[in-house]
Structure 1
Amino acid sequence: MPLVSGPDPKPGDLIEFFRGVYQHWGIYVGNGYVVHLTDQDGWSSLSSAFGGTAVVRKDRLEDVAQGWYYKVNNKYDQKRRPYPPNKVVREALAKVGEKMSYSVTSANCEHFVTDLRYGDSFSDQVDNGKTVVAVGGGIFFAVAAVAAFSSMRNRRQNQ
């Protein structure tokens, strides 16, 4: 049984599935179903990263959750105006069965659902990951620079 928190989903809602180190996203289309960009088996779009393509599927919400925590997360509604729910659902259902290009950084499952709900493809998950990599790289560079400077200073003192 999946772990769910918050309100029951309504058609057109973004559903965020927590999968440990990443999140998977779908659009709730009603009657217990979500439409999502995923691999052929319907579990994860992340595995599509290796093949460069993914498929749009309509699956039962509980099947997609597979015991993981999920919630309605329309977090972008404060910044962007969503399309009417009937348009979101209609567009999502029209894409079922379609094969699409997949890229972790520019065409992932979150990009897919934000495009359907807001008409613009974006992903906080990717943006946050880029920030972590940039900050981590900056920290690594700073530590390496300090270590190199210390090493040079120690060499000069020993000469």
Structure 2
Amino acid sequence: MAAYLGGPEPGDLIEIFRPAYQHWALYLGDGYIINVAPIDEGSTSAFASAASVFSRKARVRMQLLKDVVGNDTYRVNNKYDDIYPPLPVKDIIRRAQRLIGQEVSYDVLGSNCEHFVTSLRYGKAVSGQADTAVTAMAVTTVAAGVVTLLSFLRSRTRERQY
């Protein structure tokens, strides 16, 4: 995973560490980022980005990085650079600027803030957070199915014994 020391450069992915998850933004330059935020929230706080988890729509916003980060921490994390070549910076910024103010679909697993910024940087929407969540749900579902099946088989075995 590539994480960089120093200040962000235009086109960099910014990973913001919220208490229960990471929020993602793309650095535009001059202290500004672009990110998705819930439509019904004007706030730039952690609460606003947490609210987007429960929303099906989001608005693309250009905001000051320091306002979006608030009291949380962040780092530059262009973590997919070894897998997907970044687009030229001028193209990343141009694509991002065209989206400012637009309403977009939002889905934690299929179209979240990390998907949004990786699509701008790489031309491909990817999200490690979403992949981890899907894997965890699949493992939980399989485990629950195995427990249910074993319970069923055990109860049938007991019925036959009597």
Q: Secondary structure at the match of 1:135?
A: helix
TM-score (norm 1): 0.87
CA distance in 1, matches of 2:136, 2:29: 36
CA distance in 2, matches of 1:134, 1:51: 23
Q: Secondary structure at the match of 2:80?
A: helix
Q: Secondary structure at the match of 2:111?
A: coil
The equivalent of 2:10 in structure 1 is: 11
CA distance in 1, matches of 2:150, 2:19: 34
CA distance in 2, matches of 1:128, 1:32: 31
CA distance in 1, matches of 2:54, 2:134: 19
TM-score (norm 2): 0.85
Instruction: Provide, for residues 89-139 of structure 1, a one-character-per-residue CA deviation record: whole Å limited to 9, x for no partner.
Output: 222122111111222222221111111101112222111111100011111
> Displacement, 1:52?
2.1
> Unaligned 5+ residue runs, structure 1?
none
Instruction: Provide, for residues 5-49 of structure 1, a one-character-per-residue CA deviation record: whole Å limited to 9, x for no partner.
Output: 833211100011122222211001111111101124244445235
Is 1:150 the counterpart of 2:154? The answer is yes
Alignment of 1:10-159 (within 5 A): 10-39=9-38, 40-41=41-42, 42-43=44-45, 44-157=48-161, 159=162
Identity %: 40
Q: Secondary structure at the match of 1:155?
A: helix
CA distance in 2, matches of 1:132, 1:50: 19
CA distance in 2, matches of 1:120, 1:32: 25
The answer to whether the 8 Å contact 1:38/1:54 transfers is yes
> Unaligned 5+ residue runs, structure 2?
none
CA distance in 2, matches of 1:84, 1:75: 17
Q: Secondary structure at the match of 1:67?
A: coil
The answer to whether the 8 Å contact 1:46/1:104 transfers is no
CA distance in 1, matches of 2:19, 2:155: 40
The answer to whether the 8 Å contact 2:109/2:133 transfers is no
Q: CA RMSD in A?
A: 1.8
- Specify the code of the residue in structure 2 equivalent to 1:36: N
